Amino acid sequence: MRTLPEVTKEQAKKFYETMCTIRCFEESVKKDFLNGEIPGFVHLYIGEEAIGTGICAALRDTDFIESTHRGHGHCIAKGADVNKMMAEIFGRKDGLCKGKGGSMHIADFSVGMLGANGVVGGGYNLATGAALASKMILKNDNVSVVFFGDGASNRGTFHEAANVAAAWKLPVIFVNEMNCWASTTPYRTTTAVENISDRALGYGMPRVIVDGQNVFEVYAAACEAVERARRGEGPTFIEAKTYRIEGHFVGDPEKYRKKEETMQIFHDTDPLTHFLDKLPAGVEFTQAELDEILAAARAKVAAAKEFAVSCEYPDESEYFKDVYVD
Amino acid sequence: MRKITFSDATREAMAEEMEKYPEVFVMGEDIARQGGIFGQFKGLPDEFPGRVIDTPISETFIVGGGVGAALGGARPVVDMHFADFIGVCMDEVFNQMAKARYMFGGQAKIPLVLRAPDGLAGGGAAQHSQSVESWFIHIPGIKVVAPSNPYDAKMVLKAAIECDDPVLYFENKVLYKESGEVPEKEDEVPYTIGKARVEREGKDVTIVSYSIGMKNARAAADLLAKDGISAEVVDLITLSPWDKECVLNSVKKTHRLCLVSECVKQGGALAEVAATVAEEGLEYLDAPILRYGAPFTPIPFAPTLEKLYRVYPEDLVKGIKGVL
Amino acid sequence: MATEILMPKLGLTMTEGTIDEWKKKVGDAVAKGEILFSVETDKLTNDVEAEADGVLLAITVPAGETVACKTVIGWLGAAGEAVPAGSSSAPAEAAPASPEGEGKGAAAAAAAPAAAPARAAGEYVLATPYAKKLAKEKGFDLAQIPATGYKGVVVAKDVESFVPAAAAAAAAPAAVKASPLAEKVAADLGIDLADVKAAHGRVLAEDLLRYIAETREKKTDDAAGEREEVKPMNGMRKAIAKNMLASVQTSPTVTFNLGIDMTEMKRYREQLKAKEIKVSYTDLLVKFVAKALTEFPLLNCSVEDNKIIYKHYVNMGVAVALDSGLLVPNIQDADKKSLTQISAEVKEMAKQAREGKLPPEKLKGGTFTITNLGMYGIESFTPIINQPEVAILGVNTMEDKVVVRNGEMCIRPIMNLSLTADHRVVDGSVAAEFLQRVKSLMENPALILA
């Protein structure tokens, strides 16, 4: 068992609030997608909330994250406005990206969320480059985080970024959400290593494996990695073991696995329902307190939905804007 | 006026911009210790320690890391060693670099320059001689420039570095060694990306080119002049977004258009110019549009074959005379 | 400057000629008035004189070949002068060069042409977009402009160097200077002004009259002696000819004949007469037929581009015969006018027509026509539709005839009506029902009020 950093009740409450917001947000998105109100396609973070929440809790607004196509949770955890997030997912002009990005290309630069990425494995080099700029050019102590799944770990881009990050001791943290599924393919059928983070050793990069369902454990690992990075000691690979509860995308018939098995895993590991069990010593919550937080999160998301649908779609005049700065 | 080489001109541009903006840095393969395989970075590492960075042979990192550095607030210049290798990091170019601004609703700025030495160098053969600019003019969100002389090399590179949009800067390997007049810094005229230049006025035919193709354009114009044919020579300089107005105005004057570039003719960068003139200026054309470029083959190695790959001024002269 | 030698137009009807013989060889000096070549037409062989001194520079149409009038057949100019190349009208390469012409012909083909190009009527003219734009701006007919460009394409410089006056003298009558009256008369009579010699600079009407007289004489001499006479049609005749031809080419027609028992109509007319209201049978027909037309809109429509235009009014045309031809003025809104109004209008129109004072608007906008030949004892005919109407009613003579009524023979005044209808819109049954309706109205005049 790792030694966990001291966490106050206030912090723990914030963790739970964030996880609840993500959960409610995703449930709402799922419902509205199935209702046909949301265009495109969406990928849900349900069951993996503790990872984004724990990692981002260790970051400042000026730190960067590179997210994935399953990025709503990262975005919320990094502090993006949920109203504007929802509006973006609905394709409205008041969305974070003026309705031009959508779920898979959501970003909020004001809180250091440099964007979800429609290309699996597209984020490593961006995060590493941002870390390079921070350390070697701009000489500040900003840290970059790249989230990625076990599927994305098989992209060659991982190799190039991990190598450079370790060689130049860049302040970048590789956060692997080991959710066992690359779309429809179980990781065992495409990947030989037991742990994705076994690869980090090959780059001379320290790694840590954590229970991705335990927000306190994730937070602890993140704090340590962030400190290392800020001290100029280079990157860390955090492998957070989790499980993808939802289909690859909303509407995925999931023919490739058994629903009961997934539900059993969810029942056993849901970071929300097991939150009380994971609380560090000295921090206590009643179920009623948690219920209240969940209800507040639900209300907040309902308001976000209401905001989103009250917004207009972008005006046609918006079409040619933002292709170039000048 | 002083004369310096194309290579030195780019080095000067880099030095001036790095001096001016501390957030400008450059990374690529073999640029710090070697000074670039064509000497284009010589001296810079000493002048700006820590800001000229030798990377591993990792093109996706070079470009993707450049995009990330730009997102993180720096103003990177990244070097592609040979333009032929851009294919390795194509996703970083067209899905990341080109899209970040638009898909994030204008939140991102990518002030990045991707330098790419291109063109036939004599025996470079299939994977070290290509001119690949046409791939990139198909991609909204990036700008593509290709200067043809030392002065432009300097001014266009400075403009590219100061531009808040990603710019692909194609620099021809043969041109590196060529000298040309470059004014002192205080007499420089800044270049505006997107502007073409009428390098030579004429009335019988407009020859449009860029980069090394301009050598053919100029030589053909000289040959034609001997026969009393007056060619207007337009240096496009920026291939995307290109200066439609300049070309159309010239065609309205000369009524004939001849396009020449070193790249493969099929789908070449100037095919867009031809198509646009046909679309928007057809009524001004008094002859079919002439296009000169490389045949639709990979670039051969043997000198006897490589010779056939090239375009010569005489080709243009013959074609132009045929439609006068 | 080299000038073109054209295949002459020797008389009104000549459209093409065959070179019978070149009397001079290429390179020969030629004096004005000397015989240059002879031409065979379908009627005779004519010698053609040189119009100027010079040297025969090129022969582009060799003996034995037939070409259209005004085609360039050769070039006359100063010794050693180059022929504008491609000078062949029939393009140089198409016409086999005569042995004499070969040397220069080759050079000519390599240089640039200037003569009117021989293009088939309607042939697509290869021209650059810019050349087309220039030609349009200058009002030139591309087909008249010789091509010197790549692949035989008309390029801008061809348009710029094109002198329409020269070309037009050969081809475009509009380019001949003539008084407006002469132009109009020439157009009406189909005379090419280029054929008419002007006594004082431009062609005047008197020149035209002289030309007509000359050609008539010539024609008379040529062919028919005193047994025939050729007279040009006058304007009205030409219009009638044109309109009638156009009508039969436009409308597939069927004519329907039906006899009307005029007993009641005669009585009706007598009754009116007794009240000092004098109306003709034509007036009565206008009134009754207009009534029937309001009930049969298909007989009162017109056809345009596969569309049927129904008229909610009846403008009833009444054919008026004149010495010089025929006019069809119409009574506007005849369906809404009283019999006395109609009668007065018919009389006035006939008078105006005979005096040539018919206001032009009276001749426009008719929707149906009545033409009466009854006064000539005609019993049946097939009138031709007055376009763009779709039917015309021919009125025949009224004659006492033996008919059977209630199983007994009796004598009744019978008048045949001959209805010609356009089968594009009026089917037989419709025409027949219409005619039946006219019959029933006329045999029961009281129905006009119904």
CA pair distance B132, B89, nearest whole angstrom? 14
Q: Determine the distance in angstroms separating the CA of B285 from the nearest CA of chain C, rounded to an integer.
A: 5
Q: Determine the distance in angstroms separating the CA of B303 from the nearest CA of chain A, rounded to an integer.
A: 37
Angle, in degrees to the nearest 10, between helices C180-189 and C205-219:
30
Q: Give domain status of residue A229, yes or no.
A: yes
Task: Closest CB to B282: pick one of C129, C156, C157.
Answer: C129
pLDDT value for A276: 95
Q: Picking from B63-77, B243-257, C139-153, which range would have the lowest pLDDT averaged per residue?
A: C139-153
Q: B151 and B15 in one domain?
A: yes
Q: Picking from B61-75, B293-307, C180-194, C236-250, which range would have the lowest pLDDT averaged per residue?
A: C180-194
SS3 label, residue C193: helix
How many Å from the N-terminal Cα to the C-terminal Cα in chain B? 38
Q: Give domain status of residue B226, yes or no.
A: yes
Interface residues from chain C to B (CB-CB < 8 Å): 128-133, 149-150, 155-157
Which residues of B fall within a CB distance of 8 Å from C128?
Answer: 255, 285-287
8 Å CB contact of B68 and A96:
no
Supply the DSSP string of B229-289, one letter for each residue: --EEEEE--EEET--HHHHHHHHHHH--EEEEEEEESTT-TTHHHHHHHHHHHGGG-SSPP
Strands of A201-255, DSSP E: 207-211, 236-241
8 Å CB contact of B143 and A101:
no
Q: Picking from B267-271, C184-188, C399-403, C415-419, which range would have the lowest pLDDT averaged per residue?
A: C184-188
Q: Which residue of C has its CA nearest to B282?
A: C129
What is the sign, positive or negative, of the torsion defined by CA atoms of B128, B130, B135, B140?
Answer: positive
B241 preceded by cis ω (within 30°)? yes
Of B214, B293, B209, give the one whose Cα is nearest residue B246: B209
Q: Determine the distance in angstroms separating the CA of B80 from the nearest CA of chain A, rounded to an integer.
A: 15
Q: Give domain status of residue A114, yes or no.
A: yes
- Residue A67 domain boundaries: 9-313
- Do C220 and C389 meet the contact criterion of CB atoms below 8 Å apart? no
Q: Determine the distance in angstroms separating the CA of B275 from the nearest CA of chain C, rounded to an integer.
A: 15
Of B109, B72, B115, give the one whose Cα is nearest residue A132: B72
Condensed to tens digits (0 to 9), the pLDDT of residues C171-203 reads 444 456 777 777 777 777 777 777 787 777 778
Average of per-residue pLDDT across C425-448: 92
Please check whether residue A135 touches B, CB under 8 A: no
Condensed to tens digits (0 to 9), the pLDDT of residues C377-411 reads 999 999 999 998 999 999 999 999 998 988 899 99
Of B65, B163, B164, B160, give the one whose Cα is nearest residue B107: B164
Q: B143 and B205 in one domain?
A: no
Domain count, chain B: 2
Condensed to tens digits (0 to 9), the pLDDT of residues C243-295 reads 888 888 889 999 999 999 999 999 999 988 988 888 988 899 999 999 999 99
Burial class (CB in 10 A: 0-12, 13-18, 19+), C426: buried
Condensed to tens digits (0 to 9), the pLDDT of residues A185-208 reads 999 999 999 999 999 999 999 999
Q: Give domain status of residue A318, yes or no.
A: no
pLDDT value for C10: 76
Which residues of C fall within a CB distance of 8 Å from B285?
Answer: 128-130
Across chain A, mean pLDDT equals 96
CA pair distance C315, B112, nearest whole angstrom? 80
**Token pair belonging to A230:** 């800020």
Q: For the domain that residue B294 is a member of, what is the CATH number?
A: 3.40.50.920
Which residues of C fall within a CB distance of 8 Å from B287?
Answer: 128, 149-150, 155
pLDDT value for C59: 82
pLDDT tier at C219 (50, 70, 90 boundaries)? low
CA pair distance A104, A119, nearest whole angstrom? 9
**Token pair belonging to A316:** 């046609």
- Phi/psi region, residue B248 (left: phi>0; alpha: psi -120 to 50; beta: rest), is alpha
SS3 label, residue C195: helix
Average of per-residue pLDDT across B35-53: 94
- Name the amino acid, one letter, at C206: E
- Do A80 and A96 meet the contact criterion of CB atoms below 8 Å apart? yes
pLDDT value for C217: 61
Chain A interface, mutation test: which of B67, B103, B168, most A Cβ atoms within 10 Å?
B103
Q: B314 and B206 in one domain?
A: yes
8 Å CB contact of C149 and B323:
yes
Catalytic center residues of C: 423
Backbone angles phi, psi at A27, to 5 degrees: -65, -40
Condensed to tens digits (0 to 9), the pLDDT of residues A159-187 reads 999 999 999 999 999 999 999 999 999 99
- Pick the more confident residue, C422 or C2: C422
Angle, in degrees to the nearest 10, between helices A82-89 and A287-310:
50
Q: Which residue of B has its CA nearest to A99?
A: B105
Average of per-residue pLDDT across C28-39: 86
Q: Determine the distance in angstroms separating the CA of B164 from the nearest CA of chain A, rounded to an integer.
A: 6
Q: Give domain status of residue B192, yes or no.
A: no
Please check whether residue B104 touches A, CB under 8 A: yes
Q: Determine the distance in angstroms separating the CA of B57 from the nearest CA of chain A, rounded to an integer.
A: 9
DSSP letter for C123, please.
Answer: P
8 Å CB contact of B283 and C130:
yes
Residue C409: enclosing H or E segment and its boundaries?
Answer: strand C408-422
Supply the DSSP string of A112-127, one letter for each residue: TB----SSTT-HHHHH
- Scanning B280-299 for CB atoms below 8 A from C yields 282-288
Condensed to tens digits (0 to 9), the pLDDT of residues B124-140 reads 999 999 999 999 999 99
Residue B305: enclosing H or E segment and its boundaries?
Answer: helix B303-309
Q: B116 and B226 in one domain?
A: no
DSSP letter for A234, please.
Answer: -
Q: B153 and B287 in one domain?
A: no
8 Å CB contact of B108 and A321:
no
pLDDT value for C226: 67
Q: B132 and B71 in one domain?
A: yes
**Token pair belonging to C311:** 């008229």
pLDDT value for B49: 95
pLDDT value for B175: 97
Strands of chain B, DSSP E: 3-5, 24-28, 52-54, 75-79, 113-118, 143-145, 167-172, 179-181, 197-200, 205-209, 231-235, 238-240, 257-264, 290-294
Please check whether residue A301 touches B, CB under 8 A: no
**Token pair belonging to B299:** 């670039």
Which residues of B fall within a CB distance of 8 Å from A115?
Answer: 71, 100, 103-104, 108
pLDDT value for C13: 65
Condensed to tens digits (0 to 9), the pLDDT of residues A105-134 reads 999 999 999 999 999 999 999 999 999 999
8 Å CB contact of B287 and C131:
no
CA pair distance A295, A300, nearest whole angstrom? 9
Which residues of A fall within a CB distance of 8 Å from B98?
Answer: none
Supply the DSSP string of B147-176, one letter for each residue: --SHHHHHHHHHHHHH-SS-EEEEEETTGG
- Do C333 and C365 meet the contact criterion of CB atoms below 8 Å apart? no
CA pair distance B80, B170, nearest whole angstrom? 10
Q: B45 and B119 in one domain?
A: yes
CA pair distance C247, C421, nearest whole angstrom? 12
Which residues of B fall within a CB distance of 8 Å from A109?
Answer: 104, 107-108
If one counts every other C-beta atom within 10 angstroms of the C-beta of residue C313, the result is 15
Task: Closest CB to B284: pick one of C130, C149, C155.
Answer: C130
Across chain B, mean pLDDT equals 97
Whether chain C lies against chain A with 3 or more Cβ pairs closer than 8 A is no
- Residue B93 domain boundaries: 3-186
B65 pLDDT more than 90: yes
C43 pLDDT more than 60: no
CA pair distance C121, A81, nearest whole angstrom? 74
**Token pair belonging to B242:** 């290109």
Q: Give domain status of residue B271, yes or no.
A: yes
Q: For the domain that residue A157 is a member of, what is the CATH number?
A: 3.40.50.970
Domain count, chain A: 1
Q: Give domain status of residue B121, yes or no.
A: yes
Which residues of A fall within a CB distance of 8 Å from B63?
Answer: 125
Average of per-residue pLDDT across C364-377: 91
CA pair distance C14, B186, nearest whole angstrom? 81
A79 pLDDT more than 90: yes
CA pair distance A47, A23, nearest whole angstrom? 8
- Pick the more confident residue, B232 or C164: B232
pLDDT value for C85: 52
Q: Which residue of B has its CA nearest to C135?
A: B283
Q: Give domain status of residue A4, yes or no.
A: no
Please check whether residue B60 touches A, CB under 8 A: yes
Query: B: neighbours with 3+ CB pairs under 8 Å?
Result: A, C
8 Å CB contact of A164 and B63:
no
Q: Which residue of C has its CA nearest to B287?
A: C128
Q: Determine the distance in angstroms separating the CA of C164 from the nearest CA of chain B, rounded to an integer.
A: 21
CA pair distance B84, A278, nearest whole angstrom? 54
pLDDT value for C110: 33
Backbone angles phi, psi at C37, to 5 degrees: -160, 165
pLDDT tier at C216 (50, 70, 90 boundaries)? low
Domains and their CATH numbers in chain C: 1-117 (2.40.50.100), 180-224 (4.10.320), 237-449 (3.30.559.10)
Average of per-residue pLDDT across C333-347: 91
Of A97, A108, A98, A86, give the one whose Cα is nearest residue A25: A86
Chain C interface, mutation test: which of B286, B320, B324, most C Cβ atoms within 10 Å?
B286
pLDDT tier at B101 (50, 70, 90 boundaries)? very high
- Name the amino acid, one letter, at C355: E
Backbone angles phi, psi at B31, to 5 degrees: -100, -25
Q: Determine the distance in angstroms separating the CA of B311 from the nearest CA of chain A, rounded to an integer.
A: 34
- Do A60 and B62 meet the contact criterion of CB atoms below 8 Å apart? no
C324 pLDDT more than 90: no
CA pair distance B134, C407, nearest whole angstrom? 100
- Please state the pTM of the whole predicted model: 0.66
Average of per-residue pLDDT across A89-114: 97
- Scanning B236-255 for CB atoms below 8 A from C yields 255
pLDDT value for C18: 82
SS3 label, residue C146: coil
Q: Give domain status of residue A1, yes or no.
A: no
Q: Give domain status of residue B128, yes or no.
A: yes
Q: Which residue of B has its CA nearest to A97?
A: B105
Q: How far is CA B97 from the centre of its chain?
A: 18
Tokens 């110019």 found at: B273
- Pick the more confident residue, C31 or A50: A50
- What percent of chain B shows pLDDT beyond 70? 100
- Do C13 and C230 meet the contact criterion of CB atoms below 8 Å apart? no
Contacts of B220 by beta carbon, 8 Å cutoff, 6+ apart: B207, B231, B258, B260, B313, B314, B316, B317, B320
Q: Give domain status of residue B63, yes or no.
A: yes
Q: Give domain status of residue A38, yes or no.
A: yes
Q: B210 and B166 in one domain?
A: no
- Do C184 and C161 meet the contact criterion of CB atoms below 8 Å apart? no
CA pair distance C28, C6, nearest whole angstrom? 18
Q: For the domain that residue B45 is a member of, what is the CATH number?
A: 3.40.50.970
Which residues of C fall within a CB distance of 8 Å from B323?
Answer: 149-150
pLDDT value for C170: 47
- What percent of chain C shows pLDDT beyond 90? 31
Q: B118 and B21 in one domain?
A: yes
**Token pair belonging to C125:** 């003219």
8 Å CB contact of B95 and A119:
yes
8 Å CB contact of B285 and C129:
yes
**Token pair belonging to C254:** 């069927």
Condensed to tens digits (0 to 9), the pLDDT of residues B113-169 reads 999 999 998 899 999 999 999 999 999 999 999 999 999 999 999 999 999 999 999
C-alpha R_g of chain C:
32
Please check whether residue A133 touches B, CB under 8 A: yes
A24 pLDDT more than 60: yes
Q: Give domain status of residue A185, yes or no.
A: yes
pLDDT value for A109: 97
Please check whether residue A155 touches B, CB under 8 A: no
8 Å CB contact of B323 and C132:
no
